[in-house]
């Protein structure tokens, strides 16, 4: 497979046209594998946001009036076009973000599945008939869209996350203004192009790119914005929530995670080791559901640790477009420096470094942002490694004496996104399901993973509570109207 060398420019997409930013400026998208230019995206301005918002506002009434089945047909078309272009889009994703090609292709395939799922929503019910106390009346509910929805997405899933937000927003009758993360906006632009080729009417889907502090802020304060869905950092998410609350509009936040895996004494150790490595190091640990803390009962701690280190040493790190590479680089220089900073902090605070902990060097690594798979032990609950989201290939091993202590330690975090347990004990499984304080609960499976037809979201500081994906998405992207019809 050849590395992509063609430079591309992704322009703003407004009113079904690819247009240059009012600034006339572009931003380089740099590959984290070798620092080569993957392409360019527009440096959008407040005027660009205003144009996109106006286009979405002007289009919303006709889009809603089109009807849900017709809107679903556009998603079917977009799914087919995305599927036809899956390989080149996956290659661009790998080049731009660093994710191994097999994972990138899997993400694009997931995008196709999500589009087809929500296309089917076009012919599912949009309300209920409710018994009325008046025998001469009909009482029912129906759904209405919010209107113009702002979509702000991160760099780590530049295909799947924009789609799982845009697809339900569109099928339920909203128009969309999308702001993807600049670091992977070339990839997201290719996804938007699939929607454009599907023939969406003018103004239904619009994209602007550039600084979040400028265009994200402008989106949030625009008078035409009726709802906002955001995935990203906790600090920015809190700002989004404050501004949305002041405007009185709906907001949906998916933020950080500090996801634990409990390995009980009766666990299948080989199964647990494989799942921990996948959960912690696939996508270079750059998933909100990535395994971060591994809490192991003392009876099997040494055996588990030995097998984990032995297998972690076999992980191949390199350019994700190279066949056989298991783990790619950190997605950017900033992320690379952030992860190294967490590793240094762990050593300073007294955690024992068992494996890795350094930037990789050598001819194949020197131009990229590569970090060794890293494992610490002796991590106490008050250490930074146990408290903060690292978003990189770092595992904190934590030893406990029993199952009850494991649950207590797993819940000792401000986050509550995902958690997993490995055990054969049904009583422990049932207790884990009830006691763990996360929105995603996994048993004998890695912490990272969600199916597109199931609700996704966290508890505590990980989420605003509104769930994404599956039927649950309808609750955010629509409003309920209660209708009473009386005979005359």
Residues 6+ apart with CB under 8 A from 135: none
For the chain, give percent helix, strand, coil, nearest 5: 40, 25, 35
Q: Has domain 259-450 been given CATH number 3.40.50.970?
A: no
pLDDT at 450: 84
Q: Is the pLDDT of residue 451 over 60?
A: yes
Q: Is the pLDDT of residue 5 over 60?
A: no
How crowded is the C-beta side of 2, counted as CA atoms within 13 Å? 3
Stated length of the chain: 488
For the chain, what percent of residues have pLDDT higher than 70? 99
Strand blocks (E) in 108-194: 129-130, 137-145, 148-152, 175-179
Q: Is the pLDDT of residue 318 over 80?
A: yes
Looking at beta carbons, which pairs linking 62-68 to residues 24 or more positions away fall under 8 Å?
62/201, 63/173, 63/174, 63/175, 63/201, 63/203, 63/204, 64/144, 64/145, 64/173, 66/201, 68/121, 68/122, 68/123, 68/126, 68/171, 68/172, 68/173
Q: Is residue 408 annotated as a catalytic residue, yes or no?
A: no
Q: How many CB atoms lie within 10 A of CB 376?
A: 25
Mean pLDDT of 12-22: 96
Domain boundary assignment for the chain: 8-255+463-486, 259-450
Confidence of residue 3 (pLDDT cuts 50, 70, 90): very low
pLDDT at 7: 63
pLDDT digits (tens, 9 = 90+) for 53-64: 999 999 999 999
Confidence of residue 18 (pLDDT cuts 50, 70, 90): very high
Please state, in angstroms and rounded to a whole number, the distance separating the CA atoms of residues 147 and 174. Answer: 5
**Residue 80: burial class (beta carbons within 10 Å; 0-12, 13-18, 19+):** middle
pLDDT digits (tens, 9 = 90+) for 72-95: 999 999 999 999 999 999 999 999
Confidence of residue 420 (pLDDT cuts 50, 70, 90): very high
Mean pLDDT of 186-213: 96
**Residue 6: burial class (beta carbons within 10 Å; 0-12, 13-18, 19+):** exposed
Confidence of residue 8 (pLDDT cuts 50, 70, 90): confident
Please state, in angstroms and rounded to a whole number, the distance separating the CA atoms of residues 383 and 202. Answer: 52
> pTM (2 decimals)?
0.95
pLDDT digits (tens, 9 = 90+) for 143-193: 999 999 999 999 999 999 999 999 999 999 999 999 999 999 999 999 999
pLDDT at 234: 93
What are the CA-CA distances from residue 145 to residues 259, 263, 391, 477 (Å)? 34, 44, 35, 6
Would you state the torsion angle of the CA atoms of residues 383, 388, 394, 399, taken in this order, to the nearest 10 degrees?
40
Q: Could you give phi then psi for residue 190, rounded to 5 degrees?
A: -70, -30
417 touches 289 (CB < 8 A): yes
pLDDT at 281: 98
Confidence of residue 2 (pLDDT cuts 50, 70, 90): very low
Maximum C-alpha span of the chain? 83
Of 70-79, 181-190, 445-454, 472-481, which gets the smallest average pLDDT? 445-454
Q: Is the pLDDT of residue 464 over 50?
A: yes
Of 315 and 450, the one with more pLDDT: 315
Residue 112, H or E segment = helix 101-120
Exactly one of 96, 103, 121, 254 is catalytic; which is it? 254
pLDDT at 289: 97
Q: CATH number of the domain at 8-255+463-486, please?
A: 3.40.605.10
Please state, in angstroms and rounded to a whole number, the distance separating the CA atoms of residues 261 and 395. Answer: 11
pLDDT at 126: 87
pLDDT digits (tens, 9 = 90+) for 354-398: 999 999 999 999 999 999 999 999 999 999 999 999 999 999 999
Mean pLDDT of 228-238: 95
Mean pLDDT of 432-448: 97
**Residue 125: burial class (beta carbons within 10 Å; 0-12, 13-18, 19+):** exposed
Please state, in angstroms and rounded to a whole number, the distance separating the CA atoms of residues 293 and 315. Answer: 19
Q: For all residues of the chain together, what is the average pLDDT?
A: 96
Please state, in angstroms and rounded to a whole number, the distance separating the CA atoms of residues 185 and 179. Answer: 9
Q: Is the pLDDT of residue 4 over 80?
A: no
């Amino acid at each position: 497979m050849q590395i992509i060398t063609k430079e591309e420019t992704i322009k703003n997409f407004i009113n079904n046209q690819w247009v240059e930013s009012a600034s006339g400026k572009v931003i380089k998208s740099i590959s984290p594998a070798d620092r080569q230019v993957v392409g360019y995206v527009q440096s959008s301005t407040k005027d660009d946001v205003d144009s996109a918002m106006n286009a979405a506002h002007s289009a919303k009434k006709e889009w809603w009036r089109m009807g849900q089945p017709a809107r679903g047909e556009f998603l079917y078309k977009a799914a087919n076009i995305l599927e036809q272009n899956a390989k080149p889009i996956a290659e661009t994703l790998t080049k731009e973000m660093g994710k191994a090609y097999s994972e990138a292709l899997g993400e694009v395939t997931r995008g196709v599945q999500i589009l087809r799922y929500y296309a089917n929503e076009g012919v599912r019910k949009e309300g209920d008939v409710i018994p009325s106390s008046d025998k001469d009346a009909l009482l029912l509910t129906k759904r209405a869209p919010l209107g113009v929805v702002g979509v702000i997405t991160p760099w780590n899933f530049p295909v799947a996350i924009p789609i799982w937000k845009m697809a339900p927003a569109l099928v339920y009758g909203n128009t969309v203004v999308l702001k993807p993360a600049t670091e992977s906006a070339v990839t997201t632009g290719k996804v938007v192009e699939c929607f454009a080729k599907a023939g969406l009417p003018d103004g239904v889907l619009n994209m602007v790119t550039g600084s979040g502090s400028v265009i994200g802020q402008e989106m949030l304060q625009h008078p035409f914005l009726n709802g906002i869905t955001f995935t990203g950092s906790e600090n920015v998410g809190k700002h989004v929530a404050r501004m949305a609350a002041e405007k009185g509009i709906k907001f949906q936040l998916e933020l950080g995670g500090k996801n634990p895996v409990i390995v009980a004494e009766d666990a299948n150790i080989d199964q647990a080791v494989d799942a921990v490595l996948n959960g912690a190091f696939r996508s270079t640990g750059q998933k909100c559901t990535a395994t971060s803390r591994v809490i192991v009962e003392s009876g099997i701690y040494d055996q588990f640790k030995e097998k984990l280190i032995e297998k972690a040493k076999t992980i191949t790190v390199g350019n994700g477009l190279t066949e056989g590479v298991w783990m790619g680089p950190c997605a950017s220089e900033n992320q690379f420096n952030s992860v190294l900073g967490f590793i240094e902090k762990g050593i300073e605070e007294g955690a024992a470094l068992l494996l890795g902990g350094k930037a990789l060097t050598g001819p194949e690594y020197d131009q990229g942002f590569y970090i060794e798979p890293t494992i610490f032990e002796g991590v106490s609950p008050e250490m930074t490694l146990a408290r903060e989201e690292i978003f990189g290939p770092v595992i904190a091993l934590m030893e406990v004496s029993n199952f009850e202590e494991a649950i207590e330690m797993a819940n000792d975090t401000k986050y509550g996104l995902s958690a997993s347990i490995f055990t054969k004990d049904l009583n422990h499984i049932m207790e884990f399901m009830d006691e763990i304080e996360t929105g995603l609960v996994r048993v004998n499976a890695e912490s990272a993973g969600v199916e597109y037809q199931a609700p996704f979201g966290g508890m505590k500081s990980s989420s605003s509570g509104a769930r994404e994906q599956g039927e649950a998405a309808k609750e955010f992207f629509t409003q309920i109207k209660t209708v009473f019809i009386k005979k005359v």
